[in-house]
Structure 1
Amino acid sequence: MVSRPMPTKVFHFTRVEHLSSIVESGLLSDSRARAAGLMQIEVGQQSIKQRRAETPVHVGPGGVVADYTPFYYAPRSPMMHNIHSGKVPSYQDGTDRLIYLATTTQQLVHADSTWVATDRNAVLKTAEFSLDDARVTDMIDWQVMTLEPCIPVADHPDRIERRMAEFLVHDTVPFGNLLAIGVKSPDLAAEVDQVLEQHGSSLRALVRPAWYF
């Protein structure tokens, strides 16, 4: 039995081209980013994006899933694997220019973020939503977050959807609430650091190829 790691790290990935606007305006929900015209390069699967724009959230501030900025509890998510494998028809540029924006649930809670947690992919009808951090400890399958690779087996057919459990922050995550930026290569780290320096941020990229496929 794997216990909840403390602090509880969470990860969001996006294209490096979005970093400048994120430093300036924060990490926006899909709804906000689209409305502001800040979605330069869409890496997500369009059919899933549409479902997120239609799936209601019945707790907290409500709205739909797309009104929240999503974080996963582990890197190397099934979505990242789909991108790596070329299974996203609208995005075929691989993972080399994707960056991870990392923080902890404790940091986000301490910052008074309005959040909702799910025990699996938020668009699934079986997903449980909770506003209780203590409930998060119980409802997330922490063992599945450690599995490499994360594949379904006969006695655990829902492993992949549980690996996609989400910590959803409503509307916006200010850049100051992000604690680390992970990249795949030293070249991308240099590019990220240049953007950060231009904006006066002391944060620097961490080269973490193990977070990628």
Structure 2
Amino acid sequence: MTTECIHGLDIARCDVCSPRTPPPQDRTVKPRRAPARSRPTTISATKPVAVDAGARRIFHITHRRNLAPILEAGRMLSDAAGARPAVDISAADNRDLRREVLAGSVPVAAHVPFFLAPNAILWDGMRNGEADYRLAEGVGSIPASDFVILVSTVRAAGESAVVADGDAADPTTRFSSLTELGGRMPRRIHDEEDALRSAEFLVPGEFPFAAVTLVGVANDKVRAEVRTLLEKHGFAQKVSVYPPWFQRV
């Protein structure tokens, strides 16, 4: 009898099919402000917590019109490596800031960004139509069903990846390399409310699409479209319809 869930993972490790009990969340809408520009933030050691970081899932959210160029290239590119999305959801000021702030010796913009949770705070805001200084004007009006969620694991990202314990462009955010963490995760992500949902997982340079294990979509129409694109470019990843990832919260 298989223990695989509908998302292509061991059911005991699926955060959706076997959810962990989250702490109570404050749903009060608070105004978002751009972080003050400061000296670049560099990687610094933080006391880690022992978890199976390798098996933890990572989530890259992109507009479905960006999927064809990704498949043609066979990989997701960082901004610094030449990514030119057909639908760019990032505000120009935020993109500039990510080019200035350093994660170690290279800019944040030299990394492909992922979230560590499918209900990341920024994504929740996007699907609720909320404005955010990090987002381009009008992004809040794009239906969440127009996006796809590319799922992989920390293990597939390699040891050069970096964990940002908050918005990677915020000067107060701390960075930790996977090598430095030694298979663990920063304590702040576990100790502070909503820290996991705020965190970013940064993969330097590029991320091969072959390492994507699942494409999450909102409905059958998008699933058919994505499957056609995958077949056209020689990929066969599982495509799953999972409405809770795309509904307003």
TM-score, normalised relative to structure 2: 0.68
Q: Equivalent pairs: percent with the same residue?
A: 24
Determine the structure 2 residue equivalent to 1:186.
Answer: 220
Q: What is the deviation of 1:120?
A: 1.6
Q: Deviations over 1:102-134 (max 9, x none)?
A: 10001222xx6x311122221222222112243
1:126 aligns with 2:172: yes
Query: 1: CA distance between counterparts of 2:202 and 2:128?
Result: 26
Of 13-22 and 40-49, deviating more is: 40-49
1:11 aligns with 2:59: yes
Aligned-partner residue type, residue 185 of structure 1: N
Query: 1: CA distance between counterparts of 2:196 and 2:170?
Result: 11
Aligned-partner residue type, residue 39 of structure 1: P
1:98 aligns with 2:132: no
**Cα pair distance change 1:76/1:184, threshold 3 Å:** same
Higher-Rg structure is: 2
Gaps of 5+ in 1: 144-155
The SS at the match of 1:202 is: coil
1:172 aligns with 2:206: yes
Determine the structure 1 residue equivalent to 2:87.
Answer: 41
**Cα pair distance change 1:46/1:82, threshold 3 Å:** farther
Query: 2: CA distance between counterparts of 1:83 and 1:119?
Result: 20
1:68 aligns with 2:111: yes
Whichever structure has more helix as a proportion of its residues is 1
Query: 2: CA distance between counterparts of 1:138 and 1:197?
Result: 39
Query: 1: CA distance between counterparts of 2:187 and 2:95?
Result: 25
Query: 1: CA distance between counterparts of 2:240 and 2:99?
Result: 32
Aligned-partner residue type, residue 71 of structure 2: V
In angstroms, what is the RMSD of aligned CA positions? 2.4
Determine the structure 2 residue equivalent to 1:117.
Answer: 163
Q: Is the 8 A contact 1:98 1:183 kept in 2?
A: yes
**Cα pair distance change 1:46/1:39, threshold 3 Å:** same
Residue among 188, 192, 196 paired with 2:230: 196
